[in-house]
A and B are shown apart, each in its own frame.
Chain A
Amino acid sequence: MVLADLGRTASADLTNMQLSATSELERAIRTDVAALAGDFEALVRFYRPKVFRFALASLRDVDAAETVTQDCFLRAYQARERFRQDCSLHTWLMQIAVNLIRDHARNRRLQFWLRASLTAKPVDGAGHTIADRGRSPEAQALLQEQVAAIWAAAGRLPEKQRTVFLLRFVEDMDLLEIAVATGMKEGTVKTHLFRALRAVRERIGETV
C-alpha cells in the first residue's frame, strides 16, 4: 500500500517535473539566444535566481549570496567577449559562481570575525519547509525530518562534496556540466557525489 502510494506520488512528481523542465528548457534556450545576441539583461533576469539560490545554499548567508551573485554577473559581463560557447551559459555562470563562492568561503575562514558582524544575516535553512502533497501527518513529519537531515548533512560536507551535491540535487546539473563548472574530471565529480550521498544517507538513517 505504502509502496503503491510512493509509486503514484513519484509518478505524478515525475510528470510535473518533466513538464516544468520542458518549459524551463525552452525559456533557457530563448534566454541564451537573446543573451548571445547581446541582451545581457535577459541573461541576468533568467539566471539570477539560480545563481543566488546556489550561492545561498552554499554560503547560507543572504548578504554573502547577494554579493556573490552580483560579482558573478559583473564578471560575466566583463568576460562576455571571451565566452567560447563550448558549454551552456548556465554552466559558464555556475563556473564563475563556484569560483567566487570558494574565494568567499576562504576569505571568510581567514576573517572569521566578520561572521559576527551585525550586517551578516545567517539563515536557518531550508530544512523546515516542505510542500504538503496530501501525505499523512506521520509521513509528512518523517519526510520533514529527512529533509532537515539532508540540509544539516549538506552543511557539514567538505567544500567540494557540498558543491557537487548542490549542483546535482538542487540545480539539476548532470555530471558533465558539474565537471565543467567545477573544473574537475567527471570521475572525480562522481566520487565526490558518492561520498556526499553516503554522508547524507547516514544522516537520514540517524533520524529514522
Chain B
Amino acid sequence: MIAHLSSEQLAECILGQPSLIVARHVQDCTACRAELARFREALGEFRGAVRAWSQDQADAALSIPASLPQPRFPAASRQLAWALLMAAVCIVASFVLPWRGGEKASSDAVLLNRVDAQVSRTAPASMEPLMKLVVQE
C-alpha cells in the first residue's frame, strides 16, 4: 500500500502506463483519483484551447487581404533611390569641382604673370626712372 501518488506515479497514470500498485491505489484512493481526473481534464482542456487558438491564428493570417498596399519605399526601392541620389551627387560634383579648379587656375595664372613681369624687369620698379635716364644717354 502506498501513501498518495507522487508526481512520477501521476505521470505514469497520465501516460497510461501505471504499475499494478499505482493502478490499485488509484482505484482505492478517492483523493488521488480526483487529483488524476483534475489533471487529465486540465490537460484535455489545454489541448482543446491550443487547437482552437491555433485555428484562430491561422484564420486571422488567411483573412489578411492578399494585395496589401505596398509601402511607398520598400527596401529594394530605397536602396535604388539611394544609389540614384549618389549618382546625381557625383554628376553635379563632376561639373562643380572642375569649375572651382578653373577659377583657382586662372588666379594662379595672374599671379604667375605678375611674377614674370617682376622677373623680366632689368631693374627694380623703384629704379625704373633712372633706367630711362641711362637709355636716353
Contact = CB atoms under 8 A, between A and B. Distances in A.
Interface residues of A, number: 42
A202 B39 CA distance: 11
B41 A6 contact: yes
A18 B91 CA distance: 76
A184 B34 CA distance: 33
Interface string B1-30: 000000110110011000000000000001
B114 interface: no
Interface of A is mostly: helix
Interface residues of B, number: 32
Interface stretch (A32-40, A82-90, A108-116, A193-201): A193-201
Contact of A147 (B11, B15, B40, B45): B45
Interface in A145-178: 146-147, 150-151, 166, 168-170, 172, 175
B37 interface: yes
Nearest to A14: B44
Contacts of B54: 49, 52-53, 56-57, 126
Nearest to B60: A62
Contact of B15 (A62, A65, A143, A175): A175
A23 interface: no
A29 interface: no
B49 A130 contact: yes
Contact of A53 (B33, B40, B51): B51
A143 B38 CA distance: 9
Given A126-B54, A201-B7, A147 B61 contact: no
A66 B11 CA distance: 33
A13 interface: yes
A150 B42 contact: yes
B45 A143 contact: yes
A168 B17 CA distance: 14
B45 A131 contact: yes
B58 interface: yes
Contacts of B14: 197
B78 interface: no
Interface of B: 7-8, 10-11, 14-15, 30, 33-34, 37-55, 57-58, 60-61
16 contacts: A2-B34, A6-B37, A10-B40, A56-B54, A126-B46, A126-B50, A126-B52, A126-B54, A129-B53, A146-B38, A169-B46, A175-B15, A193-B15, A197-B10, A201-B7, A202-B7
What are the nearest 6 A-B pairs in CB distance?
A: A126-B53, A53-B54, A146-B42, A197-B11, A198-B7, A126-B50
Interface of A: 2-3, 6-7, 9-10, 13, 49, 52-53, 56-57, 62, 65-66, 123, 125-131, 143, 146-147, 150-151, 166, 168-170, 172, 175, 190, 193-194, 197-198, 201-202, 204
